Chains A and B, each alone.
Chain A
């Protein structure tokens, strides 16, 4: 990894989203001090910690496997970091009790990790981080070992919790829903490089690279040849929900597949040398063919090297074509 610059503002949650093997975990380990960078610097709370041991960085970490110490009771697991910092006994007890209460595991403090369910272990791991009241929290895919229902519930709780204690959080995940819902800021990473940083809505609305366009958003954005519109773009992306199905649409496409997503239906369309996915309300009656209109105002344009093109000439010429389509 090289050339990565990332800044987590105080009290905010920054998630790093990327496919597996993109270097996001390495990034987290570098911040924690578990791995050493060849060059560059890491500052936490304004202090340069680049050369420091993990224990001297005032960070807490939650691991994917939770990494609870199997031979210690949950109380010891949570308390041990405070004890190692030689805090007075009463304060340790008080802070552990408070952290456990925040996470609803007060009744489990006397048990061993193996006696806990997956969700309870996850909470214990979080309590072990929160009790430290560190300058920064580092979370490495903390929800990936939970089932879907627990994950959704915990996701919301995490956000509430971190906002309540005004935590500064660096959160690594490969799950874009987690990233979208939790983040104040979100960074998309790919093969050791940061592709884009911004608010989640911003990244969704204006992906600055071809990779981000394809990676963020589900169902995935349609990525089509650039010559669909004039202006010389290499690729054009349109989200499935931005595909317009209207009787006056200029293109006739066959419906290859209807997938119900509950309130919406995902249509796979084929025709005119193109394949598209379109997201439409569930109420829409099934048809063998649909007429399709591609709106350039809702399209994203990318150059051959994968960068976003935002030149006005493209949008104006595209608007022209849109006008023509209307007739």
Chain B
């Protein structure tokens, strides 16, 4: 009885979570006319790569991809460095103000990016950094610092302090303790955090939409959301689905590949609150 319940629950969960994505994949591999067949065919009658070649040849997809990679990689590096250092300081060093600092950092997680658009755009206009990687990288990094601190502080707290004591007695210097003990031991947590921060930046939409007004500077989500045909009746849904799949597949693969680290990292942070 219980097992049937669990099985039904699992089946519903899997279908619910995957159905929209699967439908997109199925559409993307259909040849042009079949995409618009009525009633829709649930399994493609024929397979075709034309949507993929089409979006790569006719649209600046590669350029969007490059922009997204640059912004996500740089902002992840920055957010991870700042977040790891801060989390280590908060978790390890008995700073009297550690609790206050932690709360102060989390305060920044209370504002959705869309609400912060006015001040952020104002600042970027002031310093003249519209359509520049730098502005988007800095904003993405700053927006992700609270999350990185949240995840890594939970990890550093449960990493035994005795490990660093032992290293001090063994003769490691402060810097060596960080580079040869703390960093290697926390590699899984750092990797999980890095993957998630990268995904957040990769996915971010509203800031990228407002900051990048020139087409060649657009990131993938913005570029794809603006894909359209000459008229409302010519929207290239096959190509759009192909673009969606190419954008989401790396994320899906990363989540599946690193699921153990990601889930244990997220749950450690969530229990600590």
Chains A and B bind each other = yes
Which residue numbers of A lie inside 8 Å of B, CB to CB? 29, 32-34, 53-55, 59-61, 63-65, 67-71, 80-81, 84-85, 128, 138
B233-261 CB mask vs A (1 if < 8 Å, else 0) is 00000000000000000000000000000
A61 contacts B185, C-beta separation under 8 Å = no
Which residue of chain B lies nearest to A61 when distances are taken between CB atoms in the complex?
A: B169
The answer to whether the Cβ of B160 comes within 8 Å of any Cβ in the partner chain is: yes
| A34 with B165: CB separation less than 8 A | yes
Given A34-B169, A81-B171, A84-B172, decide whether A65 and B185 contact each other with a Cβ distance below 8 A: no
* Interface residue from A54, A55, A69 paired with B185 (Cβ < 8 Å): A69
In the assembled complex, the CB of B177 is this many whole angstroms from the nearest CB of chain A, namely 11
- CB closest chain-B residue, reference A125: B166
| Per-position 1/0 for B104-142, Cβ under 8 A of A | 000000000000000000000000000000000000000
Are B170 and A63 interface neighbours, CB within 8 A?
Answer: no
> Quick check: A32 and B169 within 8 Å, CB to CB?
yes
Decide yes or no whether B163 CB sits under 8 A from chain A.
yes
Which one, A59, A63, A81, A85, contacts B162 given CB within 8 A? A63
A60-B163 contact, Cβ under 8 Å, with A69-B181, A71-B185? no
- Alpha-carbon gap, A34 to B162, bound state (A): 10
A34 to chain B, nearest CB (A): 5
Q: Which of B156-191 contact A (CB under 8 A)?
A: 160, 162-163, 165-173, 176, 181, 184-185, 187
Q: Which A residues touch B184, using CB under 8 A? A: 71
**Contact B162–A54 (Cβ < 8 Å):** no
Among B167, B168, B171, B185, point to the contact of A70 (Cβ < 8 A).
B185
Q: Among the listed B160, B166, B171, B185, which residue makes an inter-chain contact with A84, where contact means beta carbons less than 8 Å apart?
A: B171
Chain B nearest CB, measured from A178 CB (Å): 19
Q: How far is the CA of A81 from the CA of B172 in the complex (A)?
A: 8
**Given contacts A64-B162, A67-B160, are A55 and B169 in contact (CB under 8 A)?**
yes
In the complex, the answer to whether A85 meets B171 with C-beta atoms within 8 Å is: yes
A54 pairs with B169, CB closer than 8 A? yes
Give the residues in chain A near B162, CB-CB below 8 Å.
Answer: 63-65, 67
How many chain B residues touch the partner (CB < 8 A)?
Answer: 17
Closest beta carbon of chain B to A36's beta carbon, Å: 12
Binding site for A on B (CB under 8 A): 160, 162-163, 165-173, 176, 181, 184-185, 187
Query: What residues of chain A lie closer than 8 Å to B169, measured between beta carbons?
Result: 32-34, 54-55, 59-61, 81, 138
CB distance from A113 to the nearest CB of B (A): 11
> A55-B172, A84-B171 in contact; A63/B185 too (CB < 8 A)?
no
* Cα A80 to Cα B167 with chains together (Å): 9
Q: Report chain A residues within 8 Å CB of B163.
A: 67, 69
Q: List 16 A-B contacts (CB under 8 A).
A: A54-B168, A55-B169, A55-B170, A55-B171, A59-B169, A63-B162, A63-B166, A67-B160, A67-B162, A69-B167, A69-B185, A71-B187, A81-B169, A81-B170, A84-B170, A84-B171
A69 contact set on B, CB distance < 8 A: 163, 166-167, 181, 185
Q: Which residue of A lies closest to B186 (CB)?
A: A71
Shortest Cβ distance from A265 into chain B, in angstroms?
42
Whole-angstrom distance between the alpha carbons of A138 and B187 in the complex? Answer: 30
Quick one: which of B167, B169, B173 has the most chain A CB within 10 A?
A: B169
With a cutoff of 8 Å between Cβ atoms, the chain A residues found around residue B172 in the complex are 55, 84
Nearest CB of chain A from residue B209's CB, rounded to whole Å = 43
Q: A33-B169, A55-B169, A84-B170 are in contact. List 19 more A-B contacts (CB 8 A).
A: A32-B169, A34-B165, A54-B168, A55-B170, A55-B172, A55-B173, A63-B162, A63-B165, A64-B162, A65-B160, A67-B162, A69-B163, A69-B166, A69-B181, A71-B184, A81-B169, A84-B171, A128-B170, A138-B169
CA distance A55 to B187 in the complex (A): 26
Contacts of B160 in A (CB 8 A): 65, 67
Interfacial chain A residues near B181, Cβ < 8 Å: 69
Name the residue of chain B whose CB is nearest to the CB of A69. Answer: B181
Report yes or no: B165 in contact with A67, Cβ–Cβ below 8 A: yes
Task: Give, as a whole number of angstroms, the nearest-CB distance from B183 to chain A.
Answer: 10
Judging by beta carbons under 8 Å apart, are A61 and B165 in contact?
yes
What CA separation (Å) do A16 and B145 show in the bound complex?
46
Q: Which residues of B contact A70 (CB under 8 A)?
A: 185
The distance from the CB of B159 to the nearest CB of chain A, in whole angstroms, is 10
CA of A70 to CA of B184 in the docked complex: distance in angstroms?
9
A131, B213: Cα distance in complex, Å: 65
Q: Which 4 A-B pairs have the closest CB atoms?
A: A55-B171, A67-B166, A81-B170, A67-B162
Write the nearest CB–CB distance from A50 to chain B, whole angstroms.
16
